[in-house]
Amino acid sequence: LKTMYEDIIQAKKDSKKLLAVLIDPDKIDTSRIPEFFQKVHESIITHVFVGGSTDEGNQLETVVKTIKQHTNLPVLIFPGSHEQITETADGILFLSLLSGRNPKYLIEQQIQSVSKLVNSSLEIIPTGYILIDGGVETAVQRVSETQPISQEDETAILHTALAGQFSGKKLIYLEAGSGAKKMVKPEIIQKVASQLQIPLIVGGGIRSKTQLNAAFSAGADLVVIGTAFEENEAFLEELKK
Ligand code: 1GP
Instruction: Give the position, in ligand 1's atom list, of the atom nearest the Cα of 180.
Output: 8
Confidence band (pLDDT; 50, 70, 90) for 57? Answer: confident
Task: Please list, in sequence order, all residues whose beta carbon lies within 8 angstroms of the beta carbon of residue 85, skipping any fewer than 6 positions away.
Answer: 77, 79, 92, 113, 116, 117, 120, 122
Residue 153 assigned ligand-binding role: no
| Cα 131 to Cα 147: distance, rounded to the nearest angstrom | 8
pTM across the whole model: 0.98
- CB-facing half-sphere around the CA of 205: CA atoms within 13 A: 21
In a domain, 77, yes or no: yes
In a domain, 11, yes or no: no
Task: Please list, in sequence order, all residues whose beta carbon lies within 8 angstroms of the beta carbon of residue 159, skipping any fewer than 6 positions away.
Answer: none
In a domain, 217, yes or no: yes
Nearest to 139 by CA among 188, 78, 189: 78
Instruction: Give the position, in ligand 1's atom list, of the atom nearest the Cα of 173.
Output: 2
178: CA distance to ligand 1 center in Å?
Answer: 4
Number of domains in the chain: 1
Nearest to 138 by CA among 103, 96, 92, 184: 184
Find residue 125's DSSP bridge partners: 93
In a domain, 136, yes or no: yes
Instruction: Give the position, in ligand 1's atom list, of the atom nearest the Cα of 229.
Output: 9
Domain CATH code at residue 218:
3.20.20.390
Q: In b/e form, how buried is each residue of 170-179, taking b as 16+ CB within 10 angstroms? A: bbbbbbbbbb
The string of pLDDT tens digits covering residues 165-219 is: 999 999 999 999 999 999 999 999 999 999 999 999 999 999 999 999 999 999 9
pLDDT on residue 216? 98
In a domain, 92, yes or no: yes
For ligand 1, which residues put their CB under 6 angstroms from it?
22, 175, 178-180, 203-206, 224-228
Do residues 116 and 84 lie in contact, with contact meaning Cβ atoms separated by under 8 Å? Answer: no
State which residues form the domain around 41: 18-238
**Average pLDDT of the residues in 39-43:** 98
Find residue 127's DSSP bridge partners: 95, 171
In a domain, 12, yes or no: no
Question: Has residue 1 got a pLDDT over 90?
Answer: no
Task: Please list, in sequence order, all residues whose beta carbon lies within 8 angstroms of the beta carbon of residue 147, skipping any fewer than 6 positions away.
Answer: 99, 100, 141
DSSP letters along 33-98, please? Answer: HHHHHHHHHHBT--EEEE--S--TT--HHHHHHHHHHH--S-EEE--SSTT---TTSSEEEEEEET
> What mean pLDDT value characterizes the chain?
97
Do residues 76 and 125 lie in contact, with contact meaning Cβ atoms separated by under 8 Å? Answer: yes
**Average pLDDT of the residues in 38-61:** 94
In a domain, 161, yes or no: yes
Residue 161 assigned ligand-binding role: no
Task: Please list, in sequence order, all residues whose beta carbon lies within 8 angstroms of the beta carbon of residue 238, skipping any fewer than 6 positions away.
Answer: 209
The string of pLDDT tens digits covering residues 2-38 is: 999 999 999 999 999 999 999 999 999 999 999 999 9
Confidence band (pLDDT; 50, 70, 90) for 55? Answer: confident
In a domain, 9, yes or no: no
Q: Is 0.95 exceeded by the ipTM? A: yes
